[in-house]
Chains A and B, each alone.
Chain A
Amino acid sequence: MPDQPGVKGQNLSAGFWRILLAAGVGLGGTLSIHAQALEATGSIAHVRILKIQAANGDLLDETLINGPSTPPPGFDLQRQAVFLPKPARSASSNSLTTPAFTWVFGCSAVSGAMIAGYYDRTGYPNMYAGPTNGGVMPLDNSSWPTWADSVPTTYPNCPLIASKAGVDGRVAKGSIDDYWVSYNSTANDPYTGHWAQHTWGTAIGDYMKTSQKAYANVDGSTTFHTYVSSASPLTAAAMVSGGVASKDGTYGRKLFYEARGYTVTECYNQKTDNTIDGGFSFLQFKAEIDAGRPVMLNLAGHTVVGVGYNDTGSTVYLHDTWDTSTHTMTWGDSYSGMELLSVSIVNLGPPPASPTLTSFNPALAPIGDVVTLSGTGFTGTLSVSFNGTFASAFTVDGPTQISVTVPAGATTGKVAVTTLGGTAQSISDFTIITYDLNGDGHIDLKDVARIARYFGTTKAGDPTGFQTQYDLNGDGSISEQDATILFSELD
């Protein structure tokens, strides 16, 4: 059990109240079987804090955050948009270009996705691997169509936050289909008793258990844990030993990063120093920003992302999920009437080296042949594609070599290798040999006409007249050898 310095009074605007609970009582329904609820220590419109005893004996605050989809009224002056300052540490400020997503599925999941999207753009490209924007997470979620629930309330989409059938070409049901009813709904998740929930993998909200009834999260909410009276970080290991990891949003962020193939070096929740002496401080916040890491900030009823700072007035620049602008708050103060409570920190190992693709051999081949790719950084290769057609069969022979079978449907064009460190594309085109030279669906003697027509042309001597696709042996000339190859491939 960590040290327990003095706890500052929690200035919850709806008043501080304390009710002893027998057990198993909460807004979201049942509690984790590993923890016992001792008392509810606070509840306002969009937050509920339970004091629980974890399985390892730790006393924890279990905070359910259910920030609304629109900002609460009355704070327009504070919420005025500001320009994110350019990084200028000499001027005691810094900032990170972080996506700003608008609210869908839950504020904590949105915030988690903003940070994951930032990493997707800064050396961890497998955070988002969908088709939109060439696989690079956009800076906002306007690329995807809106949708409406049964209320009906209209929400945006962002597959990194929550997946949904029909979005990004997804065929199967996703997070929204399986878990969403309406904001604050305590009804059973739609999938329950009707179909098997989807396989997680692409949406951080799934791993954070946002809106999942099975984890006692009402629609829109996510649960986080901190020590009740200790300023120490509640680490991932402590969450596991305490039996609360499975429902903790921060631990879920860790699981998501790992599911995307990355290594997590640090994972914890910690109360901020405005709520407890020795808690996470503005200096630590600045250090995170300076290290290139946006910070998830949990307020009493909302989750936002800190994306910059200015020493003047201990100013925090943040994205609040309610629009795509940058806003400010003072460290340790409130934002839109909701006090800063804690931070959720999940840090990654160094970005994997970007791959390079220097050559391929042979330079041309028919579909089904094996091609050897040479380059660097191939370890952990996620995909290989030929002019956009992904190969289903490839072997990473080592960090500098991949053996790949030319996939059906591939066409002549660039070869691309994608690893956790990014995508490398060949400089030159890989030529797909098709013996059906005229493309009529038959490999027959009519194809000889193409060889006859371009017979004698060479790549070196007649680069404009030379037709690579008829150079079946890739020797740079259209010759008898190509005819011989064609003769041997007739269907």
Chain B
Amino acid sequence: MSTSGFATFRLFTAASILTLLAACGGGGGGGGTSSNSATKLVHTTDPSATTADWRVEADPATNGTRTVVFHVYGPTGASVQGTTVFLSCLAPQISWVQPTGATDPYALPGTALDLAQGPNVGVQLFKSHRINADLQVAAYQKSGTAVLTSDHPLFSVAVDLADGVDPGPVSPFETTGRTSIYLDGTGEHPLTLKLGTLTAE
């Protein structure tokens, strides 16, 4: 073997090791930032969703940034007293964070419901509760129902992109084993949210 041949072999070996290392570290989030890591989250509304559906829509001002705010809407024209929604995010690539302007740790009241009712207006039937990647949010009026519209969300939540996440799908999903519900004048009913897709880019 010539000297140049030996050098070529060493170069090949080093490249192979780098390739292997890259392969082992790929696909997961939370690692060190690399030049290939995603820098933003892009949400696409479920194309089948209409205003007649329970659905999630991204706030246009935050869509395409590291922290995306999701607005939760109900069917336009439906009269509801409130809702409880169970959502999970793809951790650790994605995490639930406090929406801007919220006092609750993980949810911001929308404008569809009148939460400021009752003898003790300081205590609302509005609450989030997070356990790891699972988030639940309840938003209820204390009396009566509200007619939902397409421009007034029930509440909003926000997700944040972790550092070092490879580009790819990171869509939220409904929490396994839990059923979201809404309450109207006749009682509680299950609902299915159309969540759309979320991509790390």
The CA-CA distance from A453 to B181 in the complex, in Å, is 13
Restricting to A208-264, which residues have a CB under 8 Å from any CB of B?
Answer: none
Instruction: Tell whether, in the assembled complex, residue A479 and residue B125 are in contact, meaning their CB atoms are under 8 Å apart.
Output: no
The CA-CA distance from A484 to B136 in the complex, in Å, is 16
* 30 CB < 8 A contacts A-B: A445-B127, A445-B128, A445-B136, A445-B137, A446-B84, A446-B179, A446-B181, A446-B188, A448-B84, A448-B140, A449-B82, A449-B138, A449-B181, A449-B183, A449-B188, A452-B82, A452-B140, A452-B142, A452-B183, A453-B81, A455-B118, A455-B125, A455-B143, A456-B143, A479-B118, A480-B119, A480-B124, A480-B125, A481-B120, A483-B125
Q: Which residues of B contact A (CB under 8 A)?
A: 81-82, 84, 86, 118-120, 122-125, 127-129, 136-138, 140-143, 178-179, 181, 183, 187-188
Residues of the A chain whose Cβ atoms lie less than 8 Å from the Cβ of B81: 452-453
The number of residue pairs between A and B whose CB atoms lie closer than 8 Å in the complex comes to: 74
A170 at the interface (CB under 8 A from B): no
The CA-CA distance from A481 to B125 in the complex, in Å, is 11
Residue of B nearest to A452 (CB): B140
Residue of A nearest to B183 (CB): A449
A451 at the interface (CB under 8 A from B): yes
Restricting to A439-491, which residues have a CB under 8 Å from any CB of B?
Answer: 442, 444-446, 448-449, 451-453, 455-456, 479-481, 483-484, 487, 490
A376 at the interface (CB under 8 A from B): no
Known A-B contacts A479-B119, A479-B120, A484-B123; A452 and B141 likewise in contact (beta carbons under 8 Å): yes
**Contact pick for B125, options A446, A452, A490, CB 8 Å:** A452
Residue of B nearest to A487 (CB): B127
Distance (whole angstroms) from the CB of A444 to the closest CB of chain B: 6
Residues of the A chain whose Cβ atoms lie less than 8 Å from the Cβ of B86: 444
Residues of the B chain whose Cβ atoms lie less than 8 Å from the Cβ of A330: none
A426 at the interface (CB under 8 A from B): no
The CA-CA distance from A445 to B104 in the complex, in Å, is 14
A325 at the interface (CB under 8 A from B): no
A438 at the interface (CB under 8 A from B): yes
Residues of the A chain whose Cβ atoms lie less than 8 Å from the Cβ of B178: 442, 444, 446
Instruction: Tell whether, in the assembled complex, residue B187 and residue A453 are in contact, meaning their CB atoms are under 8 Å apart.
Output: yes
**Contact pick for B84, options A445, A483, A487, CB 8 Å:** A445
The CA-CA distance from A156 to B86 in the complex, in Å, is 59
Residue of B nearest to A441 (CB): B177
Instruction: Tell whether, in the assembled complex, residue B120 and residue A448 are in contact, meaning their CB atoms are under 8 Å apart.
Output: no
The CA-CA distance from A32 to B86 in the complex, in Å, is 76
Residues of the A chain whose Cβ atoms lie less than 8 Å from the Cβ of B181: 446, 449
A-B complex: 4 closest residue pairs judged by Cβ atoms:
A480-B123, A445-B138, A452-B140, A448-B138
Residues of the B chain whose Cβ atoms lie less than 8 Å from the Cβ of A445: 84, 127-129, 136-138
Other A-B contacts than A449-B188, A456-B118, 18 sampled, CB-CB below 8 A, are A444-B129, A444-B178, A445-B128, A445-B137, A446-B181, A448-B140, A449-B140, A449-B183, A453-B183, A453-B187, A455-B118, A456-B143, A479-B120, A480-B118, A480-B119, A480-B120, A481-B123, A490-B129
Distance (whole angstroms) from the CB of A477 to the closest CB of chain B: 9
Q: Which of A445, A446, A451, A479 has the most chain B CB atoms inside 10 A of its CB?
A: A445
The CA-CA distance from A490 to B129 in the complex, in Å, is 8
Residue of A nearest to B177 (CB): A442
Residue of A nearest to B123 (CB): A480
Residues of the B chain whose Cβ atoms lie less than 8 Å from the Cβ of A442: 178
Instruction: Tell whether, in the assembled complex, residue B142 and residue A449 are in contact, meaning their CB atoms are under 8 Å apart.
Output: no
Residue of A nearest to B137 (CB): A445
Residues of the B chain whose Cβ atoms lie less than 8 Å from the Cβ of A452: 81-82, 125, 140-142, 183
The CA-CA distance from A438 to B190 in the complex, in Å, is 13
Residues of the A chain whose Cβ atoms lie less than 8 Å from the Cβ of B142: 452, 455-456, 480
The CA-CA distance from A445 to B127 in the complex, in Å, is 8
Residues of the B chain whose Cβ atoms lie less than 8 Å from the Cβ of A490: 129
Residues of the A chain whose Cβ atoms lie less than 8 Å from the Cβ of B140: 448-449, 451-452
Residues of the A chain whose Cβ atoms lie less than 8 Å from the Cβ of B125: 448, 451-452, 455, 480, 483
The CA-CA distance from A451 to B188 in the complex, in Å, is 12
Distance (whole angstroms) from the CB of A14 to the closest CB of chain B: 79
Distance (whole angstroms) from the CB of A481 to the closest CB of chain B: 8
Distance (whole angstroms) from the CB of A393 to the closest CB of chain B: 31
The CA-CA distance from A438 to B183 in the complex, in Å, is 13
Distance (whole angstroms) from the CB of A245 to the closest CB of chain B: 64
Residues of the A chain whose Cβ atoms lie less than 8 Å from the Cβ of B141: 452
Contact digits for A184-206, partner B, Cβ 8 Å, 1 yes 0 no? 00000000000000000000000
**Contact pick for B136, options A438, A444, A479, A480, CB 8 Å:** A444
The CA-CA distance from A449 to B86 in the complex, in Å, is 14
Residues of the A chain whose Cβ atoms lie less than 8 Å from the Cβ of B84: 444-446, 448-449
Contact digits for A150-176, partner B, Cβ 8 Å, 1 yes 0 no? 000000000000000000000000000
Residues of the B chain whose Cβ atoms lie less than 8 Å from the Cβ of A455: 118, 125, 142-143
The CA-CA distance from A456 to B144 in the complex, in Å, is 11
Residues of the B chain whose Cβ atoms lie less than 8 Å from the Cβ of A446: 84, 136, 138, 178-179, 181, 188
